[in-house]
Amino acid sequence: MSNKNLIAADVQSLEVESGLVSLYDLVWDTATTLHFHPGMSTAVRITAINGNNLTVNVAQTLTSGVTLTFVGYAADSTGSTTTRTTTTSADVSNSTTVAVTSSTNLTVGMTITGSGVSGTDYSPIVFDGNTYYAMPMQMGKIELKNDGAQNRPTLVIANAESIIRSSSVFQNAEDGGTNGLGNFTIDKLVGKRITHRQTLEKYLTLDPSTVSTKSVVEYPKRTYIIDSIKSKTNIAVALELASPFDLEGIKLPNRQVIGKYCPWVYTGRSFTTPTGACTWHKAGKFTQYQTSDSSTRGYRVYFTDQDEPIVWKYLIHASPTGLKGANTHPGDTSGSFALDALVGLSDGSGGFTYWRSNVASNSTIPSSSESSWQQLRVYEPFISGQTYSTNSSDSRRSEMVIYPVTGAISKDDTTFTFSNTTTVYRVTVTNGDQTPSDNSNYWVRADQCGKLLTSCKKRFQFNTGSVGQAQYTIPSTDTVNQNILPFGGFPGSRRHI
C-alpha cells in the first residue's frame, strides 16, 4: 500500500527539507527483480537491528560512550517525527555493526548523527522491504502528457556488466548482498520492464521485516520497457525506454511494421529454447551445391555488425608480420587489383588495414570513404597460452580468433578443422590465458548481424568467385540475388543484438 497524503503535503509546502531519492526496480524474469539507486545524500541510517547491535549502511569508526541521535518517522506512518538518543557501548573500528546501550524505540531507516559519524554518497538503501544497491545511472527526458504519443526517456547506466554477474556479489558494500545473474550482458536488458520510484529521504524509515503492515510513502511510480540500446561506449550505455502503452496494443497482423531493423535474435532459431526465427547457422556454415559435378562445397561465412567480411589472415599474409606480394597494396595509384582481390595496406605504424576490391582494375587507394573498397577484418586460430592484444586506437582492429578449432598448434597454422559451434571472437582485454566464449569478460563475439536487410543478403545470398572452402572462403562483392531471403525478418520494430 502506498500513502500519497504525506508526499502530497510535502509537495504543497513552500520548502521541502528532505532530499529526493530515486529508486529503480528492474524485472529480470518472473522470479528475479533487481533493485538499484543512483546515489543519494550522505545520511547514515540503520539497515537492521539485532538486539542492541545496529547494522548501518556505512562503515563507522567510533569510540565507546559516544552519544548518537536517531531521527525518523513513527512506525504507524502518521507523519510525526520521532527523535531518540543512545550511546555506543563498545569501540567500533571500520565496521557496519554498532553496539549501543539500548535499541528501544529505534527502527530501521532512522538517520544517525553524532560525534565521529561519517556518511557516503553511495550506500545500500532499504525501502519497501527491498535493498537497493548503488549503480551509476541517470534517467532523463521524462515527460507526462495526457494526449498524443508518450515520449521516450533515456536511461544511462555504467557499461560494467561484471557488477551483477554471478561471478561477483551484487552489492556496493560488504553488507551481504545477493548473488548476481549468470551470463548477464547489457544486451539482454532489451525488453525488460523497469519501474522508476521516487520518495523523500526522510521516508526511508520502514522496517522490511514488517513492511506489509505499513504504508509506503512515495510519488506515483512510472513503469517503462527497455526498448533498445541507443548508444554504447566503453564507459556508458544509453537505453531508450518506451511506455508499456506504446508496446502492448494487439494488432493484426500481430507484428507491427514500423521500423527498418530485423527484430530476430541472430542465429536464434532453436527447437529447445528459441530466441527468434533467424535460421543462419551459428557456425557460419554455408553449403553450396555444384551442378557441374553434383558435389557440395562447405564455406565459412562471417561478418561484423558493420557488414565487414571477416576472413582468414593468411589469405593475405605470408607470415605473421609480412604480406604476400600479390596482396600488398603500394599505398598509391601505381597498382591495379581485380574484383574481389584481398589486400593489406600499411597503417604507417607497423600494422596493416585490410580491404577487398569492389571493382575490377582497381587502382584507387583504400579508405573508408572510397566506395571501390570494402574494409575487412582478419582472424587466426585460437591457441591457448598465446597473447592476444587489443588495439588502443580502434577496438574494431583488436585481434580476432576462430574458436573452437582442432589441429592448430600455432597462430599461423594453415591446417585446422572447424566444428558445428566454430565462430569468430574479438579480444576486448589483452590476455594470454582466457578461452573465448559468448559470456567472457575478455572476448566478444565478432560475427554479428547488422540487423539490416543488407546484412541478411550478405549471408543468405552469399557468393564467392573462389573454389576455396572453410578458412579459404572469400565472400564476393556480388551476391546471388536469386536466393530467397527467409520470410518475416523485415522490417522490425526495434533493434536487438
Tens digit of pLDDT for each residue in 426-470?
999 999 999 999 889 899 999 999 888 889 899 999 998 777 889
Other Cβ atoms less than 10 A from the Cβ of 488: the count is 13
pLDDT, residue 76, reads: 58
Query: Mean pLDDT, to the nearest integer, of 326-355?
Result: 95
At 174, is the pLDDT very low, low, confident or very high (cuts 50, 70, 90)?
very low
Distance separating alpha carbons of residues 397 and 56, to the nearest angstrom: 48
User: Which residue has better confidence, 157 or 260?
Assistant: 157
Total length of the chain: 497
For residue 123, pLDDT beyond 70: no
Distance separating alpha carbons of residues 418 and 284, to the nearest angstrom: 10
Pairing of strands 400-406, 373-381: parallel
User: Which residue has better confidence, 149 or 204?
Assistant: 204
Pick from 231-245, 247-261, 319-333: least confident: 247-261
pLDDT, residue 171, reads: 45
Q: Provide the whole-model pTM.
A: 0.54
For residue 324, pLDDT beyond 80: yes
Query: Contact at 8 Å (CB) between 464 and 299?
Result: yes
Task: Name the nearest CA neighbour of 21 among 84, 82, 111.
Answer: 111
At 17, is the pLDDT very low, low, confident or very high (cuts 50, 70, 90)?
low
User: Which residue has better confidence, 176 or 418?
Assistant: 418
At 478, is the pLDDT very low, low, confident or very high (cuts 50, 70, 90)?
very high
Task: Give percent of the chain above pLDDT 70.
Answer: 78
Distance separating alpha carbons of residues 33 and 174, to the nearest angstrom: 20
Query: Mean pLDDT, to the nearest integer, of 247-271?
Result: 62
pLDDT, residue 141, reads: 76
User: Which residue has better confidence, 149 or 353?
Assistant: 353
User: Which residue has better confidence, 304 or 168?
Assistant: 304
pLDDT, residue 482, reads: 85
Query: Mean pLDDT, to the nearest integer, of 189-194?
Result: 88
Q: How high does pLDDT run on average in the chain? A: 82
pLDDT, residue 231, reads: 87
All domains in the chain, ordered by first residue: 4-38+130-247 (no CATH), 44-120 (2.40.10), 285-460 (no CATH)
Distance separating alpha carbons of residues 384 and 362, to the nearest angstrom: 39
Pick from 25-29, 170-174, 258-262: least confident: 170-174
For residue 338, pLDDT beyond 70: yes
pLDDT, residue 492, reads: 42
Distance separating alpha carbons of residues 390 and 397, to the nearest angstrom: 7
State pLDDT tens for residues 211-240: 444 557 888 888 888 888 888 888 888 999
pLDDT, residue 250, reads: 45
At 40, is the pLDDT very low, low, confident or very high (cuts 50, 70, 90)?
low
φ, ψ of residue 89 to 5 degrees: the values are -105, 0
Pick from 40-49, 73-82, 401-410: least confident: 73-82
pLDDT, residue 64, reads: 93
Q: Specify which of 2-16, 78-92, 396-410 reaches the highest per-range mean pLDDT.
A: 396-410
For residue 82, pLDDT beyond 80: yes
Query: Mean pLDDT, to the nearest integer, of 29-45?
Result: 80
Burial status of residue 400 (CB atoms within 10 A of its CB: 0-12, 13-18, 19 or more):
buried
Other Cβ atoms less than 10 A from the Cβ of 129: the count is 14
Pick from 210-219, 348-357, 402-411: least confident: 210-219
Query: Mean pLDDT, to the nearest integer, of 118-129?
Result: 72
At 176, is the pLDDT very low, low, confident or very high (cuts 50, 70, 90)?
very low
